[in-house]
């Protein structure tokens, strides 16, 4: 975390070694250390268009880092929906197996546990400290095929914030540059001077830039801790008319609170249309940035989501100042993790969740997710129902705790008993027998417990489907036999 000249850096490193480090033990990783492993995972992704099926198996290769206690750190994206995992140690022919112990979809990392208790006896654990040497030069440690460990040079440019694993929470990452060819599949990054771990390479692009998960975030994850979440979204306030409307006299402060996650740390503290002026005594500019004393301009999310022990607010009250009804108000907010229940329409990465479905009368109902939409190919935005697209773009987050999921009719399996509705496709379900549907579980209960001899479905556009209750299971049985579907539902 230090921005120092070269002489001061050597002094700092020496001090850390002599004291055992104030911020977590710093142990260099050498070229000959048995710490870097090769991971081969066989994965089988779900089919979001036909959720009773899985796609063909694929193989994913990545780098694993031994962290002690028979555990290995790997990129989460490499083991989503795995069916088997094989581990290859340096200079060894034998392959070992492992199972998933824990995964964080927002950080993009997972911890595997080796099945053989003796598999790690000759491995050296990598210890991730708090300190970062930014800007600076680093080395990428990678192991491929049967070759020895290779090292490639990178430049560590700056710290920034983003939801880089396509997760829900913006987290810190190190921006890097390199002229070398890199894979970005979990390689260990060490400082080139002291060989202290700096992070894990998460992605690398064709323009020679990449993103590294910083060591302090990795340390937090390994310790089993959750990541905090600010609980709101904001909009920049850069135009004069809008700033005047909210009564702001200064041009250099404030962003607008535009959305609050129900059940989050912000609920009951912040209000919509609050203007956020300060967080932890840092002034927030109209674009949502503040001046960090060591890292420069950073998104305000850092002040809520950062887990670096040197300046983290985890476990503390976060002081904030807002402009509410044209008056300054000082508030305090707890630091809590993201409430998953606040997500109405799942988006980004799949979070290792398989799509759910419910079949009624040979008609397949699902809960809307971005993964369902993107399954329609590169031109998915042009191919899907525009109402589904609109909801995914603007209503991913629940507006209150009682708002339900978006249940929709995804397809009709053509049977003689439902031929009146064969053209129905991607329609949002509103009510069943006059009751608004909250989820697939709710839909299942409504049909099961209905006393009416008829089940009456009404879609958002007014389209109606009506079946006798006793024929729903008859048509389901016919659909399962005709289309090789094992169950009426998968939940």
Whether residues 288 and 349 fall in one domain: no
Query: What CATH number has the domain bearing residue 247?
Result: 2.30.42.10
- Are 347 and 460 within one domain? yes
Give the count of beta carbons closer than 10 Å to the beta carbon of residue 449.
7
The verdict on 220 and 232 lying in the same domain is no
User: Are both 269 and 215 inside the same structural domain?
Assistant: no
Number of H helices, E strands in the chain: 9, 29
Q: Which long-range contacts (CB under 8 A, 24 or more apart) does 471-478 make?
A: 471/361, 471/417, 472/360, 472/361, 472/447, 474/417, 475/361, 475/362, 475/415, 475/417, 475/418, 476/359, 476/360, 476/361, 476/362, 478/362, 478/415, 478/417
Domain count, the chain: 3
Is 403 in the same domain as 262?
no
**The domain boundary residue, chosen from 225, 252, 272:** 225
What pLDDT, on the 0 to 100 scale, is given for residue 145?
66
Instruction: Split the chain (491 residues) into runs of 10 and give each run's mean pLDDT.
Output: 44 42 69 94 98 98 98 98 96 94 98 97 96 96 78 97 96 98 97 97 96 98 97 96 91 94 97 98 97 97 94 89 96 96 97 97 99 98 98 97 97 98 98 98 98 98 98 98 98 97
- The pTM for the full model equals 0.90
Name the 3-class secondary structure at 35: coil
Q: Residue 141 sits in which domain range? A: 1-225
Domain boundary among 225, 259, 279: 225
Considering the domain boundaries, does residue 172 fall inside one?
Answer: yes
The last residue of a domain, from among 320, 339, 358: 339
At 25 the pLDDT is 65
Indicate if 190 and 253 belong to the same structural domain: no
- For residue 101, the model assigns a pLDDT of 98
Residues 335 and 347 in one domain: no
């Amino acid at each position: 975390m230090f921005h120092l000249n070269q002489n001061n850096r050597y002094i700092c490193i020496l001090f850390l070694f002599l004291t055992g480090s104030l911020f977590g033990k710093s142990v260099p990783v050498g070229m000959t250390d048995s710490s870097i492993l090769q991971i081969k995972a066989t994965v089988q992704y779900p089919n979001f268009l036909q959720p009773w099926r899985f796609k063909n198996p694929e193989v994913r290769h990545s780098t694993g880092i031994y962290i002690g206690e028979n555990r290995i750190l790997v990129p989460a994206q490499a083991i989503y929906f795995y069916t088997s995992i094989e581990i290859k140690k340096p200079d060894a022919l034998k392959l070992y197996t492992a199972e998933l112990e824990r995964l964080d979809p927002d950080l993009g990392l997972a911890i595997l546990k080796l099945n053989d208790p003796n598999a790690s006896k000759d491995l050296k654990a990598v210890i991730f400290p708090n300190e970062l040497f930014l800007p600076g030069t680093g080395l990428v440690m990678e192991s491929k095929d049967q070759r020895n460990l290779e090292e490639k040079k990178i430049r560590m440019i700056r710290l920034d914030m983003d939801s880089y694993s396509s997760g829900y929470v913006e987290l810190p990452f190190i921006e890097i540059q390199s002229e070398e060819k890199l894979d970005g599949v979990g390689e260990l990054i060490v400082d080139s001077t002291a060989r202290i771990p700096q992070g894990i390479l998460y992605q690398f692009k064709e323009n020679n830039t990449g993103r590294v998960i910083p060591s302090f975030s990795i340390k937090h994850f390994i310790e089993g801790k959750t990541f905090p979440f600010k609980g709101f979204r904001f909009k920049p306030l850069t135009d004069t008319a809008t700033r005047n409307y909210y009564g702001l006299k200064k041009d250099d402060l404030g962003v607008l609170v535009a959305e609050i996650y129900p059940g989050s740390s912000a609920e009951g503290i912040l209000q919509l249309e609050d203007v956020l002026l300060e967080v932890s005594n840092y002034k927030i500019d109209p674009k949502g940035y503040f001046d960090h004393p060591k890292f420069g301009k950073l998104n305000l999310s850092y002040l809520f989501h950062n887990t670096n022990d040197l300046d983290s607010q985890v476990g503390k009250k976060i002081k904030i100042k807002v402009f509410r009804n044209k008056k300054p108000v000082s508030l305090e907010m707890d630091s809590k993790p993201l409430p998953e229940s606040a997500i109405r329409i799942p988006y980004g990465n799949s979070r290792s969740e398989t799509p759910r479905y419910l079949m009624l009368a040979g008609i397949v109902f699902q809960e809307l997710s971005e993964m369902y939409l993107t399954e329609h190919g590169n031109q998915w935005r042009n191919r899907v129902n525009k109402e589904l697209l609109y909801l995914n773009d603007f209503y991913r987050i629940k507006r209150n705790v009682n708002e339900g999921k978006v249940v929709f009719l995804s397809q009709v399996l053509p049977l003689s008993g439902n031929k009146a509705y064969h053209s129905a496709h991607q329609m949002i379900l509103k009510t069943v027998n006059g009751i608004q549907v909250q989820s697939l579980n709710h839909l299942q209960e409504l049909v099961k417990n209905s006393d009416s001899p008829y089940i009456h479905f009404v879609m958002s556009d007014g389209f109606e489907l009506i079946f006798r209750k006793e024929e729903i299971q008859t048509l389901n049985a016919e659909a399962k036999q005709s289309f090789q579907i094992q169950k009426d539902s998968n939940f």
